[in-house]
Structure 1
Amino acid sequence: MLLRLLLLSILVWWTGSSTIVRAEELRGSEAVGVIRMDVFVRSDRDSAEAVSAYCGELKQRTNGLEVRIHDVLKDKTQLLRLYQLSKKSGRPTPVLPAIYVCDRMFFGFDDAVRTGPEVEKLFTANLYTRTTCPKCQNLKAFLPTLKKRWPAIRFVIHDVDQSATARSSWEALCRKAGSPPGLPTIDFAGRILIGYQGDDVTGAQLGQLIRDVSGVTPDEPLGWNRSGNAGDRLVRNADRTLKVQTALLSTAVLPTRLLAAQPPPTEDSSQLGAAPSDTPSDSQPEISLDMLELPDEATAAETGASEVPPEVVTTDTIDVPMLGRLSASELGMPLFTLAVGLVDGFNPCAMWVLVFLLSVLVNIKDRRKILVIAGTFVFVSGLAYYAFMAAWLSLFLLIGIARPVQIALGLLALFIGMVNVKDFFALKKGISLSIPESHKPGLYRRVREIVGAKYLSVALAGAVVLAVIVNMIELLCTAGLPALYTQVLAMQEYPSWKNYSYLLLYIAAYMFDDALLVTVVVATLSHRRLQEREGRWLKLLSGAVILVLGLVMLLRPSWLQLGS
């Protein structure tokens, strides 16, 4: 274990100088963020008055919401913009009225009662959580910060373990996004964030996403992202009525779905409004803005929000205990893999079972058999963990761990721990997990038969079953890190052989401490025998560890999730 701690210390030193955007930057500005809503109408249509009245009332009761109404009958610039936004949302030809907010669009308007709630969903963030999920609780604790900064955004929490409807919606959302289900899941602005790595990572990421789609930034009053793309130039140069506008209309994408703030365009700030080329190709026809057709009223079938497949937001940063925040892009994938694997491998559940197994096997006094049986346990543990990671931990992310199971395991651990601590002070008195003297001869005979050459296959089979069971229990405690790591690995878009090679490297780091423990036991077996006094101390040590583990499982189960 000393070597393991040394390796962790080196990694802490290595990563100590790394810097990332922290949540304090999100909290740094106390100014209330503004969400802009653009409403496109035709003043010669009856719906214009109704939707304008509704939006005025909505603005009055929603702090931080800015509403701009554009009459496309009079403002051809906004008509051109409407065409582009409609095209981006999947509708080639726009209909009216049209509402654009948080990078989403809604077409048509019946009345405030029927259409109003649907419009307000455009700037609503749906958070799918579970009451027993510690990461979900961390997200909920961060919400007041976001609400204070962005009061217009509505955060709605859906506990999937309390509502069958919420669970069905969550599962359907993940299927639609093509992503393994995980909690918490944040659905906002057509993006999905799965998991919560803390305020500094996911919290800051969510805050940045809101800024990106807010429609208003200090240096860009029209509200576009700093992508410098053709769509930005299109709006700022609406006075151009020649062929450049037509080319932009057919090719631009407004504004690109950014996951983080992009650097300013390379051109000079005074040229931000310039078209891509001042000398457009002669093959592009000259068309005036006046040639754009005015949209008509939306029919009942056309009324509703635009349907765009959700986009999963990912990150290459993981928060891990002791090492802090690790970034694959900063560390490089090999070192990143080793660091996360080492931390993931330090698990008291599996370590305790292995120590118990070795404490039984040490009585064999046969290094070869100990190495074969314990080595089989370690190997199968790694193989099982590898299989679980390769499968994206879909089952465990879906069902989680039920609180009654945690309570039962915690109570059992408390009982075993108290008995072991009692044995330190009163060995062989009262209830004990030690073998009674009267039963030892028969049990020793059975042990000799099991570990004998004739029954070695039985011992190996038992080690295999034990390893699988232990890893299933272990996954319930620490499913976070494997799920996050495999997500980061998938982002790299490596070929299959490279992905599985990195998983092998992860497993090698994960099993390092177990392999080291087996090696030490095998190497020092014949040096001295375990005396009763030493056995008492081992009882006390193991009892104390199990007691702590039981208390944590009962009172603070989130501490068993290393990724939290």
Structure 2
Amino acid sequence: MKKYLLVLSVASALAIPFLQVQAVEKVTIEVFESDSCPHCRAFLSFIEDLQKERSDFELVDYDINTSEGRDFFVEVTDKLELPKATPIIYIGEEVLLGFDKPKTTGQAVIGLIDKTKEKESVRSLKEFINTRGSVNQNEDGEICDDGNPCELRTSGNTIIGIPFTGKTIDVGNFSLPTMSFVLGVVDGFNPCAMWVLVLLLGALVAVGSKRRMWEIAGLFLVAQALMYYLILNVWLYAWDFIGLDRIITPIIGVVAVGAGIYFLREYKIATDECKVTDLQQRAKIAKKVQEFAQKPITVVTAIGIIGLALSVNIFEFACSIGIPQTFTKILDINQLSFFGEQFYNGLYLSGYMLDDLIVFAIALYSFDKIGLTGKYTRFSHLIGGLLMVVLGLILLINPNFLVF
């Protein structure tokens, strides 16, 4: 009998390491994604390429456009106080918010896969949010109290890509002021938001008033800066940007198509009038246009511009929040005072608005150099009208086409 017990004990001892290896042999990656999110597609493409190189992980994909995926998405983001944005990537009881490039976020994903393989056991995302009762200690030694779910650790990856260069930098090596400004600059060079400013400036050039350009475009820039500043402070917890984007984007599309039709009509009218109108009549028309352009901005106009600025930020945040997430996480780690956080938010915002200010300055410079001849004005109406109609239709049919 003792002999059999000895054999059984030895067999059990040999089986324990094998069972532990089996438990972590396959790492599960869970992701919330949407087919309208380009960063989600970039992540899935990265995973597809990575699966060709290694077979020690598997992917569980939750599409938030399905009722089941959306319900689980809302449950997870509410319970863990995560922003309602995609992609959200869960690996080994840690989370990555957003996806940039294989050289940046991709390396963080690989690091979490390797890190998870060293653990004895890992809960699925569903098990994690429903954990109650038992005490569990993670690899960093934090204790999860009885009766409360364990705290989800958010990965603080500080490697970012530099626009237009294909290179990466680790902003974790920078001082806090420098890091704040650099992250803001990288975040600001985003075509998701810049195309709206370019479109707005093009329309204002067609109107033919430098003063109106200063007023309307200036108000747009100020409103956009304030909106983004509020987003950095509120940090999305109470906002469902994906839900808002679904409502606002079609509205912007309809407005853009309507504005485009208006400019095309103006182009046609201007062409016809040139055939039948004498110089005196043209002068009267030009005077009326000038008087209209010099009128002060109304409350309705101001509200519309502020609404446009808000929609731009919603459109940009609906897909990814990787860089601002990194920034706010670093501020949180440094445990700054309220005024300290606002100071660094201001530095980040100044970098974020830099590209918009450059575009604005170029538009003003071009305004002075090109001038506003009748031929140029009609040409601007044609180009601006076609551009607005095309952009409006894209926003209505496939808004993701405007995200680069």
TM-score category by the smaller chain? 0.5 to 0.7
Taking the TM superposition and a 5 Å limit, the aligned residue runs for 1:53-452 are 71=12, 101-102=23-24, 123-163=27-67, 165-215=68-118, 255-256=139-140, 308-319=150-161, 321-324=163-166, 325-330=168-173, 332-340=178-186, 342-344=188-190, 347-357=194-204, 359-360=206-207, 362=209, 371=214, 375-394=218-237, 395-399=239-243, 401-402=245-246, 413=256, 427-429=270-272, 448=291
What TM-score, normalized to structure 1?
A: 0.51
Q: Secondary structure at the match of 1:141?
A: helix
In the aligned structure 2, how far is the partner of 1:370 from the partner of 1:215?
59
Alignment CA distance shift 1:330-1:512 (3 Å):
same
Could you tell me which amino acid in structure 2 is paired with residue 190 of structure 1?
E
When the two structures are superposed, what TM-score results if normalisation uses the length of structure 2? Answer: 0.68
Matching residue's letter, 1:381: Q
Deviation at 1:419, TM superposition (A): 7.5
2:128 paired residue number: none
User: What secondary structure does 1:530 align onto?
Assistant: coil
Residue number among 374, 377, 397 corresponding to 1:535 in the alignment: 377
Question: Does the 8 A contact of 1:393 with 1:479 survive in 2?
Answer: no
Is residue 39–residue 320 contact of structure 2 (8 Å, CA) maintained in 1? Answer: no
Question: Aligned equivalents of 2:320 and 2:61: distance in 1?
Answer: 26
Cα distance, 1:478 vs. partner? 2.0
1:501 and 2:343 are equivalent in the alignment: yes
**Partner Cα distance (1:391, 1:187) in 2:** 23
Give the fraction of aligned pairs with identical amino acids, expressed as a percent: 17
Check if 1:483 corresponds to 2:329: no
Distance 2:150 2:271 in 1: 69
Quickly say closer, same or farther: Cα 1:70–1:371, change in 2 above 3 A: farther
CA contact (8 A) 1:318 1:484 kept: no
Q: CA deviation at 1:159?
A: 0.9
Q: Is the partner of 1:350 in helix, strand or coil?
A: helix
For residue 491 of structure 1, what is the amino acid of its counterpart? K
Cα gap change, 1:99/1:195 in structure 2, threshold over 3 Å: closer, same or farther? same
Instruction: Give the match's secondary structure for 2:172.
Output: helix
Counterpart residue number, 1:3? none
| Alpha-carbon distance, 1:529 to partner | 5.8
What is the deviation of 1:333?
Answer: 1.0
- Tell me the equivalent position of 1:468: 306
SS at match of 2:164: coil
Checking the alignment, whether the CA contact within 8 Å between 1:192 and 1:313 is kept in structure 2 is yes
Q: How far does the alpha carbon of each residue in 1:446-478 deviate from its partner, in whole angstroms, 9 at most, with x for none? A: 9858956xxx4xx25344313212112312432
Q: Distance in 2 between matches of 1:467 and 1:381?
A: 9
Q: CA RMSD in A?
A: 4.9
1:181 counterpart SS class: coil
Closer, same or farther: CA 548–383 of 1 in aligned 2, 3 Å = same
| Matching residue's letter, 1:353 | L
With a CA cutoff of 8 Å and minimum separation of 6, indicate the structure with the bigger relative contact order: 2
Rounded Cα–Cα distance in structure 2 between residues aligned with 1:536 and 1:169: 53
Residues 112-143 of structure 1, C-alpha deviations (whole Å, 9 max, x = no match): xxxxxxxxxx9433221122222222222223
Letter in 2 for 1:390: N
Opposite residue 195 of structure 2, the aligned amino acid is P
SS of residue in 2 equivalent to 1:180: coil
Question: By how many angstroms is 1:322 displaced?
Answer: 1.9
Q: Distance in 1 between matches of 2:341 and 2:195?
A: 28
Structure 1 residue 313 displacement after superposition: 1.7
After superposition, the C-alpha distances for 1:33-55 in whole angstroms (9 at most, x for unaligned) are xxxxxxxxxx98xxxx9xxxxxx
Residue type of the partner of 2:36?
Answer: T
The 3 A distance-change label for structure 1 pair 420 and 70 is: farther
> For residues 199 and 519 of structure 1, what CA distance do their matches in structure 2 show?
34
Query: Structure 1 unaligned runs (5+)?
Result: 1-42, 50-68, 82-96, 104-121, 217-222, 225-252, 258-305, 431-436
Give the deviation of 1:149 after TM superposition.
Answer: 4.2
- Relative to its length, the structure with more helix (as a share) is 2
SS of 2:29's equivalent in the other structure is strand
* CA–CA distance in structure 1, aligned partners of residues 294 and 265 of structure 2: 30
Distance verdict in 2 for CA 1:422–1:317, change over 3 Å = farther
Q: Name the SS of the counterpart of 1:205 in structure 2.
A: helix
For the Cα contact (< 8 Å) 1:396–1:476, is it kept in 2? no
* Unmatched 5+ stretches in structure 2: 122-136, 142-147, 274-279
Higher alpha-carbon Rg: 1
